[in-house]
Amino acid sequence: GQNIDQPTEMTATEGAIVQINCTYQTSGFNGLFWYQQHAGEAPTFLSYNVLDGLEEKGRFSSFLSRSKGYSYLLLKELQMKDSASYLCAVRNGDYKLSFGAGTTVTVRA
Amino acid sequence: TAGITQAPTSQILAAGRSMTLRCTQDMRHNAMYWYRQDLGLGLRLIHYSNTAGTTGKGEVPDGYSVSRANTDDFPLTLASAVPSQTSVYFCASSESGGASDTQYFGPGTRLTVL
């Protein structure tokens, strides 16, 4: 079975840094994705990790440790528009995505 | 750029009635997917299609059927709706369904079954 855990909610101040953790136990592993979803909208792709280490893309970075079944998404220089849900998803052995329940990030002024 | 479109945007449906949710993509992607999103549960895969003419069952397929007659369209049908099918439904597509493939999502259909 698939088990993907991430915190339900996080709150941070504009300009700060927030780290969203994701732990997973899946049948097979073919990469980990992070998506951003604003309220009432579709998920949009943020990042993909398949090898251990850090992938940096502007203000957002994503880290993966396959041996620990662990990833995090790092959001730097937070802006109000970053208030959204962040979804961790693992591509399992049959190439299908299994999603966590999502972490709602609220950015306060 | 259209990408993926879904229709309707929202719908209220009486229990026992049938309904088809439409999904069309213009990216010539081979793979398409249907998910439902419920509070606290995240996105769950209902059905998928790796290429036109083929379909497969996801995590929660019961009560739903799909067809893939061509590359662009992937309709989802509820034959006899029940209240537990109240959810937000997202269609997605990806180039090939392979390991590094990124899925792109449509805007969603909010369905309420009463």
- Per-residue pLDDT band for B2 (boundaries 50, 70, 90) equals low
Taking CB atoms and an 8 Å limit, are A102 and B42 in contact across chains? yes
pLDDT at A92: 87
pLDDT at B16: 97
- Per-residue pLDDT band for A95 (boundaries 50, 70, 90) equals confident
- Per-residue pLDDT band for A28 (boundaries 50, 70, 90) equals confident
Average pLDDT over residues B2-12: 94
Pairwise CA distance, residues A99 & B33, whole Å: 14
CA distances from B19 to A19, A63, B63 (A): 41, 42, 11
Chain B closest-CA separation from residue A71 CA (Å): 17
Does residue A50 register a pLDDT over 60? yes
Backbone φ and ψ for B36, nearest 5 degrees, come out as -120, 145
Taking CB atoms and an 8 Å limit, are B102 and A50 in contact across chains? no
Structure tokens at B106: 């449509």
To the nearest whole percent, how much of chain A has pLDDT over 70? 99
Which among A42, A45, A98 is the nearest to B108, CB-wise?
A42
Which among A43, A48, A87 is the nearest to B100, CB-wise?
A48
pLDDT at A1: 54
Pick the residue from chain A with its C-alpha nearest to B4: A42
Taking CB atoms and an 8 Å limit, are A99 and B104 in contact across chains? no
Contact B80, B13 (CB under 8 A): no
Give pLDDT tens digits for B77-106.
Answer: 999 999 999 999 999 999 987 777 899 999
Task: Tokens 């249907």: give the residue.
Answer: B34
List the single best residue of B6, B93, B105 to mutate versus A (max A Cβ within 10 A). B105
Average pLDDT over residues A7-31: 95
Q: What is the mean pLDDT of chain A?
A: 95
**Residues in a beta bridge with A52:** none
Taking CB atoms and an 8 Å limit, are A101 and B42 in contact across chains? yes
SS3 sequence of chain A: CCEEECCCEEEEECCCCEEEEEEEECCCCCCEEEEEECCCCCCEEEEEECCCEEEEECCEEEEEECCCCEEEEEECCCCHHHCEEEEEEEECCCCCEEECCCEEEEEEC
Give pLDDT tens digits for A59-88.
Answer: 999 999 999 999 999 999 999 999 999 999
Taking CB atoms and an 8 Å limit, are A42 and B44 in contact across chains? no
List the single best residue of B1, B10, B37 to mutate versus A (max A Cβ within 10 A). B37
Asked if A36 is an interface residue toward chain B (Cβ–Cβ < 8 A), one would say no
- Per-residue pLDDT band for A27 (boundaries 50, 70, 90) equals confident
Structure tokens at B50: 């790796």
pLDDT at B80: 97
Q: What is the mean pLDDT of chain B?
A: 95
CA dihedral defined by B26, A29, A44, B32, rounded to 10 degrees?
20
Asked if A26 is an interface residue toward chain B (Cβ–Cβ < 8 A), one would say no
**Residues in a beta bridge with B12:** B112
Of residues A36 and B99, more confidence is placed in A36
Give pLDDT tens digits for B34-74.
Answer: 999 998 888 999 999 999 999 999 999 999 999 999 999 99
Output the DSSP codes for B64-84: EEE--SSSSB--EEESS--GG
Pairing of strands B56-57, B4-7: unpaired
